């Protein structure tokens, strides 16, 4: 055999050759023997160390990614909520071409539409409740703020997050009903707003022949019977100035309007009248400047914003900014009690109002007088009307110190403060800070210190209101 041959050769070889051959054979045997126990244990230990390191890196990365996602969501929600509220507030007080008399610097008489009281923000619509005085208040007060559910709104503002405010914003829709695009269709039974641009309806002189219960309107008034039935006519100057009545019926042939109650002072040819804007579900017969084309009809918008203490299910613990928008619900025009969730994680909400109660000459605003001017020739500085700039510190409306009708009538700026909270708690984190929201402080609610928070603030100039008060 071959092996035997090798052994024989080795036996015949020199001792040195035999020693080298035996060493080579022993080395081959050791290579064939594999790992020792010590080597195996070392390999396992190294592998476990690497595995633990990889798991640690994975866990930390996952935790950091989760925390980053929570932070991003918190930032996004806070910014979106602020942007949404600022966008809505920018429209406050927009009434198309209508300008309240108390803000009309061209009016030579005492304004007759100054709000007499703060309107009930949740009063359902009907022709009796929504009388001339109430409508004047709606058009003259575009912003209302509270620190709790206002009277009459307890069925609408429910489950309110503690220590937050309630904001109401009022305006006409910026698009014309049924105009297409993103504008809602003209819906029968919904509440709309219409104002005139026709001289015979906007500001015109009455004709002779009016009686204690009628008004002979201008010759260019509508030729359609009952075109103005239900509208409110106001005598703005001349004989009987300051009176307002609802029109019960109207003759297109004679241009004579019969009012619902006798005039205290019968108008005559010196009386200048104005038809008030229509806010209702019918009777949209006002016209544009050509006195022939129907005036624009816009949806009446009234929206309540507040923070609810849950998102979708009561008790889920996620504070959420919600809204209730005045609309037709089950045959009733009112603020719906079923609110719409807008932005989750909004936990704090403060509203402060900037009040324009001084003229640019330093005089106090006084709507019980006609406009007076520092210079009768230049007409640049009304001494008893505001200048569109907030005076003094911004005001927060509270239950203890509610904002007055005068303050709300003269709101020209808003400051908003929001506290955005992450939707999920951060393990091991404790928020013990006290936050400053404008002129007041805000503390973390009990039992929720493990959530991270961020404060957002912003201001909005009420352009539709302040712009009317600016002079060259």
**DSSP states along 164-203:** --EEEEEEE-SS-TT-STTSPP--TTS-EEE----HHHHS
Task: Report which of 204, 197, 228 is spatially closest to residue 218, judged by C-alpha positions.
Answer: 204
CB of 396 closer than 8 Å to CB of 417: no
pLDDT in tens, 12-31: 556 666 666 666 665 555 55
What was the pLDDT predicted at 16?
63
Instruction: Please state the rounded mean pLDDT for residues 40-68.
Output: 82
How many CA atoms lie within 13 Å of 13's alpha carbon, on the beta-carbon side? 14
pLDDT given for residue 439 in this prediction? 93
Q: How far is CA 80 from the centre of its chain?
A: 11
Average pLDDT over residues 109-118: 93
Strands (E), 252-345: 256-259, 272-275, 278-280, 297-308, 320-325, 327-329, 332-334, 340-344
Q: What are phi and psi of 342, to 5 degrees?
A: -115, -60
Q: pLDDT by residue (tens digit) across 154-211?
A: 999 999 999 999 999 999 999 999 998 889 999 999 999 999 999 999 999 999 999 9
Other C-beta atoms lying within 10 Å of the C-beta of residue 87: 10
Confidence of residue 288 (pLDDT cuts 50, 70, 90): very high
The sheet carrying 453-461 orders its strands as 346-355, 411-421, 453-461
Q: Is 4 exposed, middle or buried (0-12, 13-18, 19+ CB in 10 A)?
A: exposed
**pTM, 2 dp:** 0.85
Q: How many CB atoms lie within 10 A of CB 442?
A: 21
Q: Running DSSP on this structure, what letter comes out for residue 412?
A: E
pLDDT at residue 8 greater than cutoff 50: no
Q: What is the pLDDT of residue 230?
A: 86
Question: Pseudo-torsion of CA 55, 60, 63, 69, nearest 10°?
Answer: -120
CA 334 and chain centroid, separation: 18
Residue 228 has pLDDT above 60, yes or no: yes
Q: What is the mean pLDDT of residues 237-265?
A: 94
d(CA 21, CA 469): 113
Other beta carbons within 10 angstroms of residue 105's beta carbon come to: 14
pLDDT of 56 above 90: no
Q: Alpha-carbon distance 142 to 170, whole Å?
A: 5
* Residue partners of 2: CB distance under 8 A and separation at least 6: none
pLDDT digits (tens, 9 = 90+) for 328-349: 988 899 999 999 999 999 999 9
Query: Which residue, among 107, 88, 136, 124, has the nearest Cα to 301 in the 3D structure?
Result: 88
- pLDDT greater than 50 at residue 10: no
Average pLDDT, integer, range 409-433 = 93
Per-residue pLDDT at 215: 97
Q: Mean pLDDT over residues 126-155, rounded?
A: 94
User: Which neighbouring-strand residues pair with 18?
Assistant: none
CA distance 16 to 245: 136
**Measured distance CA(360)–CA(367) in Å, rounded:** 16
Task: Give the number of residues written for the chain.
Answer: 472
User: Mapping DSSP to helix (H, G, I), strand (E, B) and coil, where does residue 132 land?
Assistant: helix
**Whole-number Å distance between alpha carbons of 138 and 115:** 8
**Which run of H or of E encompasses 460?**
strand 453-461
Query: Is 285 in a helix, a strand, or coil?
Result: coil
- pLDDT for 125 equals 95
CB 391 within 8 A of CB 128: no
pLDDT digits (tens, 9 = 90+) for 65-109: 777 777 788 899 999 999 999 999 999 999 999 999 999 998 888
Q: First and final CA of the chain: distance in angstroms?
A: 124
**pLDDT band (50, 70, 90) for residue 427:** confident
| pLDDT of the residue at 25 | 61
pLDDT at 7 over 80: no
CA proximity to 360, closest of 322, 395, 390, 327:
390
* pLDDT at residue number 69: 74
Kindly list the distances between the CA atom of residue 263 and the CA atoms of 211, 215, 320, in Å, as whole numbers in the listed order. Answer: 8, 9, 52
Task: Tell me if 386 sits within 8 A of 356, measured CB to CB.
Answer: yes
Does residue 249 or residue 17 have the better pLDDT?
249
- Percentages (nearest 5) of helix, strand, coil residues in the chain: 25, 25, 50
| pLDDT tens sequence across 346-403 | 999 999 999 999 999 999 999 999 999 999 888 889 999 999 999 999 999 999 999 9
Identify the pLDDT of residue 28: 55
What pLDDT sits at residue 303? 98
């Amino acid at each position: 055999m071959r092996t035997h041959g090798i052994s024989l050769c080795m036996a015949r070889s020199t001792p040195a050759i035999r020693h080298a051959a035996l060493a080579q054979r022993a080395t081959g045997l050791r290579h064939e023997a594999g790992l020792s126990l010590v080597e195996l244990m070392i390999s396992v230990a190294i592998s476990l160390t690497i595995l633990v390191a990889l798991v640690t890196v994975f866990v930390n990365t996952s935790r950091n990614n989760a925390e980053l996602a929570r932070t991003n969501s918190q930032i996004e929600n806070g910014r979106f909520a602020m942007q949404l509220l600022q966008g809505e507030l920018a429209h406050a007080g927009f009434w198309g071409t209508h300008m309240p008399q108390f803000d009309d610097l061209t009016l030579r008489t005492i304004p007759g539409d100054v709000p007499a009281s703060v309107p009930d923000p949740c009063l359902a619509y009907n022709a009796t409740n929504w009388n001339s005085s109430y409508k004047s208040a709606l058009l003259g007060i575009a912003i209302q703020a509270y620190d709790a559910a206002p009277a009459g709104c307890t069925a609408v503002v429910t489950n309110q997050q503690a220590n937050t405010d309630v904001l109401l914003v009022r305006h006409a829709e910026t698009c014309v009903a049924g105009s297409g695009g993103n504008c809602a269709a003209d819906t029968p039974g919904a509440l709309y707003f219409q104002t005139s641009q026709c001289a015979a309806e906007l500001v015109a002189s009455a004709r002779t022949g009016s009686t204690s219960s009628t008004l002979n309107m201008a010759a260019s008034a509508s030729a359609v019977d009952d075109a103005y039935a239900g509208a409110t006519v106001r005598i703005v100057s001349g004989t009987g100035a300051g009176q307002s009545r609802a029109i019960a019926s109207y003759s297109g042939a004679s241009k004579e309007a019969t009012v619902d109650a006798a005039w205290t002072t019968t108008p005559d040819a010196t009386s200048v009248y104005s038809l008030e804007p229509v806010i209702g579900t019918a009777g949209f017969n006002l016209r544009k400047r050509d006195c022939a084309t129907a005036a624009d009809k816009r949806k009446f918008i009234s929206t309540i914003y507040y923070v609810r203490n849950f998102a979708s299910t009561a008790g889920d613990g996620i504070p959420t900014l919600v809204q209730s928008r005045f609309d037709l619900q089950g045959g009733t025009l009112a603020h719906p009690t079923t609110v719409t969730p807008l932005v989750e994680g909004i936990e704090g909400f403060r509203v402060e109002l900037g009040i324009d109660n001084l003229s640019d000459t330093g005089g106090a605003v006084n709507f019980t007088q006609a406009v007076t001017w520092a210079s009768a020739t230049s007409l640049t500085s009304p001494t008893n009307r505001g200048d569109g700039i907030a005076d003094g510190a911004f005001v927060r409306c509270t239950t203890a110190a509610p904002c007055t009708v005068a303050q709300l009538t003269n709101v020209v700026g808003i400051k908003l403060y929001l506290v955005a909270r992450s939707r999920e708690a951060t393990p091991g984190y404790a928020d013990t800070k006290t936050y400053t929201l404008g002129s007041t402080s805000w503390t973390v609610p009990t039992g929720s210190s493990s959530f991270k928070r961020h404060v957002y603030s912003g201001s909005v100039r009420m352009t539709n209101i302040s712009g009317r008060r600016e002079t060259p």
